[in-house]
Chain A
Amino acid sequence: MTELLSVQGLTKAYPGVVANDDVSFDIAEGEIHALLGENGAGKSTLVKMIYGLVKPDSGTMRLRGQAFAPPEPRAARANGVAMVFQHFSLFEALTVAENVGLGMENPPALSQLSREIREVSHAYGLPLDPRRLVGELSAGERQRVEIVRCLLQDPKLLIMDEPTSVLTPQEVEILFATLNKLKAEGTSILYISHKLEEIRALCDGATILRRGKHVASCDPREKSAAELAELMVGEALQVPDRAPSEPGEVILQVAGLTSTNVATFGTKLQNIGFEVRAGEILGIGGVAGNGQDELLSALSGETMGSPETVRFRGKTVGHLPPNARRRLGMLTAPEERLGHAAAPDMSLTENGILSGWQRQELTSAGFLKWGAAKRFAEQIITAFDVRTPGAHVAARALSGGNLQKFVIGREILQRPELLVVNQPTWGVDASAAAAIRQALLDLASNGTAVIVISQDLDELREVSDRFAALNAGHLSAPKPTRGLSMEQIGLMLGGAHDMDVADTGGAHHIKEAYEEGHP
């Protein structure tokens, strides 16, 4: 195999942190190469340098033997490098065709482009309607827009930044089929992920980064997931475990929960009903945007409804605001750490007061008890190993994992009878994620009812006793997690929507026709 891209000694430093320190690796033609590392390991910075978004401080790149130093993405695209971003670079108020056109150098007329989008997207098993507004599409469909945008430019190297984080298992399978087909056609793919099983199934080679440094190269098919994890984290990971316990009495009953008003691009909850018992963890899975935020806000009291839709220990609470529910012992930790779960510019002490003032009695007669509040914040910091100089630090200054440990710990220390968490380990490094999962398991063992809403199916399989799926505002009937296969879970999540497995012959034919039209 000949070399397509060769990276030699790339270094990029930002004030206070070296994002990439002397990183070197090669990608062969027709290779799917994994770039593996934790959040903050420098994967994104590295690919941004290849794509011309960031200029390296030192180091060189060679593409097909030629020196390659793209000053801007346009130059990278002209050399056949295309990128699918983790946070989609899409415009919600524009149509699919307009979005695709914006990412191309010399797009054809809109009608011609629409026809090409339809053809190429079907050929690769990713059907798209070019006239639809991107704002109306699901996350999976949005990713298809990004991929089709790249495919239309006939890339030699396709960079994919965490492409599966928003997909159902079936959609992942279809994506893999598409990627394998591209590989068969000679396209190289640089695949960024921290999901080990995926990399073992898909990739031919892997470069592992840790804290900006290239720590290892390997063939991921010859390593076990545990070995890869160890290379990535630098230490052996503890798998969370829990003491077995019998579920107790019913703590929360939800029945006939239907949302009346939702925000633009929000999802309406449709007649949701379930129960959670003491000492039990209910996992709610689903791709983002299927009603997770709406469900959390209905349980927290941010959206109030009719009294009987939510019952806490048999008492109707559906009409109560958040403070009244918190007083009863219904606590929540929302997904968005900065801005929803914590006020970014306030200190950890103040953030502790905002959530815990009732149950921890941090006020008296309307005045703050600063001493008690500081002790509460420090207690969280010690108990949950939050790495911070002290309780006076602003929430914004903490890393994602540390702030998440603080936010979850803050609720757990208030001795909740019910705790609802949304995406507890999203964007959190592996060791902090393991600590948070362990804390949730311990909480349940002590008799608290826990609801974990998450998109990470591995996480839900690890912690939850029963599993239910949210799909377009509908909640499936909860099933015991033990013995549930990934395929069953995928079907509960709504399957692959309307995707087909790629049809290789057709794709080739269309690609040829397409290239003839664009000599």
Chain B
Amino acid sequence: MDLSSINWILLLASLMVASTPILLAAIGELVCERAGVLNLGVEGMMITGAICGFAISVETQSATLGFIAAALSGAALSMIFGFLTQYLLSNQVATGLALTLFGLGLSALIGQGYIGIKGLEIASLHIPLLSDIPVLGPILFRHDLMVYVSIAIVAATWATLKYTRAGLILRAVGENHDAAHALGYKVIRIRLMAIAFGGACAGLGGAYLSVVRVPQWTEGMTAGAGWIALALVVFASWKPWRILVGAYLFGGLSVLQLNLQAAGLKVPVEYLSMSPYLITILVLVIMSSGRSRAALNAPAELGRSFHASS
């Protein structure tokens, strides 16, 4: 094996790009779960966002429109989930799983005419001065806009949950929906907004794969990223910055194992392929264990249906 054949700067630079889809999906699911809703349909919303974003960006030749379409399609799909679970009180786990299967099928249908078409070229930003710093420049400051948007979403989510009244109300709804209702808050409306935000973020994450990272459409191209995002939310103890750490860890390991394969490491490929999943979960388990408060941090009403008695 020849470790020197790996370009470490290039590897670190691709880390942020590789992590962005999971990061976006996970931060959306975090908001949804903090409001007390467990939406297992992340994978389905991601893949739907991926095809809608890809199709619109190809048709309009605009990546921005593509991302907007992806966010809207993710949110629209999540509203099916929202209607079923919040108004018809269907089981959240079963409905979420169904949403994933539905999304996979729907995306394959929409994507019929787009297989093999090449996507847009997305230019990376060039920030004066910052991008020219040696080593750090290429690693941190020469990416496309969505990478920075995703970090901004994490920061905004953190600040909203921690410092604003809207964030407090959202957490309160996830903590005790009966009490929130008794105080006069609109539990179902707040939850629907959280679900829509989760869907939009998952759509953006999927579109980042098909529009920027790959960029083309193949069926099932999210390949379980939605499930990793779901696991990330739990192991990150529902904290936004830990999601960022977890997502970057996972993205970094994925890139590293590909490079190691290319460098000819004498380990069966299967072990390398599974390593990012294993190591990410291991690290996050260690991070969330040992602190007794971690268990407390789970939203108390997670996955429970709310029905006002009046």
Interfacial residues of chain A within 86-108, with CB under 8 A of chain B in the complex: 87-94, 98, 101-103, 107
Contact B310 A53, beta carbon cutoff 8 Å: yes
A112 at the interface (CB under 8 A from B): no
**A73 & B300 in contact (Cβ 8 Å cutoff):** no
Q: What is the 8 Å Cβ interface bit string for chain A, positions 39-83, against chain B (1 contact, 0 not)?
A: 000000000000011110000000000000000111001000000
Find out whether the CB atom of B183 lies under 8 angstroms from the CB atom of A73.
yes
Mask for B142-180, Cβ within 8 A of A = 1, else 0? 000000000000000000000001001101100110111
Interface size on B, residues (CB 8 A): 21
Give A73's nearest chain B residue, CB to CB: B184
Query: Roughly how many angstroms separate A251 CA and B184 CA in the complex, as a whole number?
Result: 53
A240 to B296, CA, bound (A): 45
Could you tell me if B175 and A89 are in contact, using CB atoms closer than 8 angstroms? no
Q: How many residue pairs, one in A and one in B, have C-beta atoms under 8 Å apart? A: 58
**Could you say which residues of chain B place their CB within 8 Å of the CB of A344?**
none
Complex: A90 Cα to B300 Cα, angstroms: 12
Interface pair A90/B297, CB less than 8 Å apart: no
Q: Is the CB of A102 within 8 A of B172?
A: yes
- Tell me, yes or no, whether A25 is within 8 Å of chain B by CB: no
Tell me if B184 and A91 are in contact (CB < 8 A): no
In the assembled complex, B182 has its CB within 8 A of some CB on chain A: yes
The A interface, classified by DSSP as helix, strand, loop or mixed, is loop
A55-B310, A94-B168 as given contacts; A89 in contact with B296, CB under 8 Å? no
> Whole-angstrom distance between the alpha carbons of A89 and B180 in the complex?
7
Q: Are B300 and A93 in contact (CB under 8 A)?
A: yes
- Chain A nearest CB, measured from B45 CB (Å): 27
In the complex, which of the residues A87, A101, A264 contacts B168, with contact meaning CB atoms closer than 8 Å?
A101
Known: A53-B182, A55-B310, A85-B182. A91 touches B295 (CB 8 A): no
Report the nearest B residue to A89, measured CB to CB: B179
Whether the pair B296, A102 counts as a contact (CB closer than 8 A) is no
> With a CB–CB cut-off of 8 A, which chain A residues contact B297?
93
Pairwise interchain contact B184-A89, C-beta atoms closer than 8 A: no
Contact A89 B310 (CB under 8 A): no
**Chain A residue at minimal CB-CB distance from B310:** A54
Q: Determine whether the beta carbon of A107 is less than 8 Å from that of B183.
A: no
A186 close to chain B: CB less than 8 A: no
Q: What's the minimum C-beta distance from A439 to chain B, rounded to whole angstroms? A: 33
Do residues B175 and A91 form an inter-chain contact, with CB atoms below 8 A?
yes
Task: Decide yes or no whether A135 CB sits under 8 A from chain B.
Answer: yes
A73 close to B182 (CB less than 8 A) = yes
Which chain B residues lie closer than 8 Å to A89 at the CB level? 176, 178-180, 182-183
Residues on A with beta carbons closer than 8 Å to the beta carbon of B171: 91, 93-94
> Which residue in B165, B172, B292 is a CB contact (below 8 Å) of A91?
B172
18 contacts between A and B (CB under 8 A): A53-B182, A53-B310, A54-B310, A73-B182, A87-B178, A88-B179, A89-B176, A89-B180, A91-B171, A92-B175, A93-B171, A93-B297, A94-B168, A94-B171, A98-B172, A101-B168, A102-B169, A264-B292
| A-B interface, 3 closest residue pairs, ranked by CB to CB distance from nearest | A89-B179, A73-B184, A91-B175
Enumerate chain B interface residues (CB-CB to A < 8 A).
Answer: 165, 168-169, 171-172, 175-176, 178-180, 182-185, 292, 295-297, 299-300, 310
Residues of A that sit less than 8 Å from B by CB:
52-55, 72-74, 77, 85, 87-94, 98, 101-103, 107, 135, 264
